Amino acid sequence: MRRIQMFTVGIAVLAIAGCAEQPRLEAAAQALGAGALTSIQYSGNGTQYAFGQAYEPGGRWPRFVAKTYTAAIDYQTPAMRLEMLRAQGEDPPRGGGAQPFARDVRTIQVVSGTFAWTEGGQQPAPNPGAVGDRLRALWVTPHGIIKAAMASGAAADTAGVINLTVAGRPVKATLNAQNQVERVEYLSSNSVVGDYPVEVTYSDYAQFGGIMFPRRILEKQDGLDTLDITVTDVQPNAAVSLPVPENVAKAPAPPAPPAVQIEKVGNGLWSLAGAGTRSLAVEFRDHIVMLEGPTSDARSAAVNEMVRKTIPDKPIRYVVNTHAHYDHAGGLRQYVAEAVTVITHESNKAFFEKVWARPRTLEPDSLSKAPKPATIETVADKRVLTDGTQTVELYFHQGNGHHAGTLIAWLPRERILMYGDAYNPPAGDEIRTPDRGPEYAIQLVQLVEQQLKLNPVRIAPVHGRVVPYQNLKIAFGISGTN
């Protein structure tokens, strides 16, 4: 009889706990005013940091001043428009993120349904690969996560924890004692570091037009700040209309694998452009040296396939990495998977070894599917790759403000200079880049002309076209010996 009573009590306790879960979520919806909210616009200012663009390998992300920050959200479509006006935050400039700025830079990123795009150019630029991340950003807002939880049938436990799936990824939200959303956590993925945590913290709630909204939003990615915004204005149920532009709706899906264009730019020298970045293939007597492995696993695989078709019977032996920023190092693991030796500056080696050992459960790549040790060779100040017929000289760019472990490549026979970041030639006949300050370009010219005494005729930047070296100097009004 006692066992039956205990069993009955246990059932009752479970039932009470189960009943308590749903009211906690409903209480959060009521506390925040989420029920009648179909749209919202909030704005403020603060600080933004450029993920993956640290000055030193493994260091903090470079800082920018977010003069204005405005998010407009339609929870019904769903759709979101995020507009930010950024100013230079590092003085002197240190790191990437498109700095140094010559003037304030406005960015506008939009998602609507299954389409994403960027505004600000002559016409909206489709960003099909950004749909998932931007929808996730929409739904992890305080009211968005409550709406998503209720729509999915998720519940808050007695500790105020809600577990649900948002845009294909598991997400954990935590309520505070006032049933306000205090923190949202999930995993994201990057081709350099693999799985990494994202944490968004909401605090200092206040009433705005009948709803509660946080006056501070703090976001961390991979343990480092990426956004710190003080909210100054909130408009519940604002008129938010974000129709998909015609060119975005009709844009073809990006090719898989990525499209690669190859062009011969010298004797035994090939330029390969794909996924918005450039590599060079240098043909030696019995092997190939690749200069830069940027962007992604898929891009490197497509580039390497094109190289093998163009230059058959010669293996790729080395890939040279200009620096450890994620857009420049994102395709290196594919080379490791193909047993190609990576050459980088000595300050980057430990960083790559550490992050390449991290889990990759969200987006497994070739190396995670068939693990093998990486062979990494380093450069201190200078290294020359030559076989008597072809020569590549690698130089450490000491004092470079963009990245502390930067290499440049010099091909003396063709008088071509390759580098990661300093001047990115725009499309067409335009030479100048009015949004960019001259600091990094000046540093490059000083290294090339004053210290190394090189005399380049052309430049082959990772971002941009192969153009005359003089374009770099004209763009920023730099005087010099060349």
Per-residue pLDDT tens, the chain, 482 aa: give them: 333 333 233 333 333 334 444 489 999 999 999 999 999 999 999 999 999 999 999 999 999 999 999 999 999 999 999 999 999 999 999 999 999 999 999 999 999 999 999 999 889 999 999 999 999 999 999 999 999 999 999 999 999 999 999 999 999 999 999 999 999 999 999 999 999 999 999 999 999 999 999 999 999 999 999 999 999 999 999 999 999 999 999 999 999 999 999 999 999 999 999 999 999 999 999 999 999 999 999 999 999 999 999 999 999 999 999 999 999 999 999 999 999 999 999 999 999 999 999 999 999 999 999 999 999 999 999 999 999 999 999 999 999 999 999 999 999 999 999 999 999 999 888 999 999 999 999 999 999 999 999 999 999 999 999 999 999 999 999 986 66
Indicate the fold that domain 261-476 takes in CATH. Answer: Metallo-beta-lactamase; Chain A (3.60.15)
Topology agreement, domain 20-240 and domain 261-476: no
End-to-end CA distance of the chain: 98
pTM of the model: 0.93
**Domain parsing of the chain, residue ranges:** 20-240, 261-476
Length of the chain: 482
Residue 276's SS3 state is: coil
For residue 274, give the nearest of 251, 305, 290, 295 by alpha carbon: 295
Pairing mode, strands 261-266 and 224-236:
unpaired
- The C-alpha atoms of residue 482 and residue 480 are separated, in whole angstroms, by 6
- The C-alpha atoms of residue 214 and residue 227 are separated, in whole angstroms, by 14
CB atoms within 10 A of CB 276: 13
The DSSP symbol for 367 reads H
Tell me if 166 sits within 8 A of 152, measured CB to CB.
Answer: no
Burial class of residue 214 in the structure, from the number of CB atoms within 10 Å of its CB (0-12 exposed, 13-18 middle, 19+ buried): buried
The CATH code of the domain at 20-240 is 2.50.20
Backbone φ and ψ of 182, nearest 5°: -100, -35
